[in-house]
Amino acid sequence: MFLVQMAAFLATLIADFRSRVPLVAWAVVTLTIGISGPFGSYVALDLPARLLFWGVIAAMGISVGAAIRAFVHTVIGLSDLQRGAFLVAVMSTLIMTLPLHALADRMFDPDKATAPNLPDIALFIFATSLGIGAFRHSREMRPEEEASTLVPLAPEPPDDDSQAAQLPRVVQRLDPELHGRLIAMSVRDHYVDVYTSQGKGSLLMRFADAMDETGEEEGVQIHRSHWVSWGAIKGVEREAGRIWVRLCPELRLPVSRTHRDKLEERGLL
């Protein structure tokens, strides 16, 4: 069990740093804090020195935060994004407040800058971590993907073992109660949400690998974050210049411009 958790932890951490989220967060935090110069750094250091100082601090803090986030979502098993972001902020505050206080106290000349106190630094770390968490949440739950959190309705799944063995490999990875006809797949952060006739499950894997495991189920990628089964499409809708495929009354997914020709070739547009 420990080895499985460690493998999931490392996979999540590596996937996180392969994305652009940490880099974007680091750039925003470094520029914002470096220019504003909190805790006396504005008067103690010039702008290049502040950017360098806070750039290093931001890199260390984001790295620690990413490790804590991977721990929360894999070892602890907390999948809720909002509660997870809050817990990450609390743990980051507890871990990083004292080291940052000690570093700031040693770095800044007391004749030029007032030494920061612990509550101020704790609040600073907590607020920054929550801000990064909110950025992650907005990226993971873009409006075009919010509809993909609903569970589709479809025919009953196969009943016997021989039929279950014919299910796509990506469906077989899910819990047995979710084994059914493959409906659609959507990217959510480092996970792939797999929709079947029995509900929705999440897998920690690359989207490209998930699409390779759809087997004989005829389907198509309609967006960089979405794949659908041709047989599950109930209709095509247009709204404000955008095109959506309707899979059931509760679920529809967007079609990007680069993939519209696939629907045209199928006669759906």
Q: pLDDT for 177-215, tens place per residue?
A: 899 999 999 998 889 999 998 888 999 999 999 999 998
Range of the domain at 96: 1-140
Domain presence at residue 162: no
Domain presence at residue 67: yes
Task: State which residues of the chain have pLDDT below 70.
Answer: 1-5, 8, 78-81, 108-115, 137-165, 249-250
Residues 129 and 178 in one domain: no
Is residue 183 within 8 A of residue 197, CB to CB? The reply is yes
Residues 134 and 175 in one domain: no
The residue from 95, 119, 140 where one domain ends is: 140
- Bridge partners for 186 per DSSP: 193, 226
Residues 134 and 14 in one domain: yes
Residues 98 and 220 in one domain: no
Residue-level pLDDT at 52: 94
Residues 121 and 6 in one domain: yes
Domain presence at residue 236: yes
The residue from 140, 161, 190 where one domain ends is: 140
Residues 70 and 29 in one domain: yes
Is residue 203 within 8 A of residue 173, CB to CB? The reply is yes
Residue-level pLDDT at 164: 53
Residue-level pLDDT at 109: 62
Instruction: Please give the structure tokens belonging to residue 103.
Output: 């570093």
Q: What is the C-alpha separation between 159 and 144, in angstroms, rounded?
A: 34
**C-alpha dist (Å) from residue 91 to 44, 81, 251, 264:** 29, 15, 36, 50
Domain presence at residue 206: yes
Residues 125 and 183 in one domain: no
Instruction: Please give the structure tokens belonging to residue 57.
Output: 């601090």
Domain presence at residue 157: no
Domain presence at residue 203: yes
Residues 108 and 188 in one domain: no
Residues 181 and 133 in one domain: no
CA dihedral 13, 14, 15, 21 (to 10 degrees): 70
Residue-level pLDDT at 166: 82
Domain presence at residue 146: no
In one-letter notation, the amino acid at residue 132 is I
CATH of the domain at 250: 2.40.50.1020
> How many domains is the chain partitioned into structurally?
2
The residue from 140, 159, 190 where one domain ends is: 140
Residues 29 and 131 in one domain: yes
Residue-level pLDDT at 5: 67
Residues 118 and 38 in one domain: yes
Instruction: Please give the structure tokens belonging to residue 19.
Output: 């994305």
In one-letter notation, the amino acid at residue 206 is R
Residues 196 and 101 in one domain: no
Domain presence at residue 149: no
Residue-level pLDDT at 70: 85
Whose structure tokens read 């098993």? 77
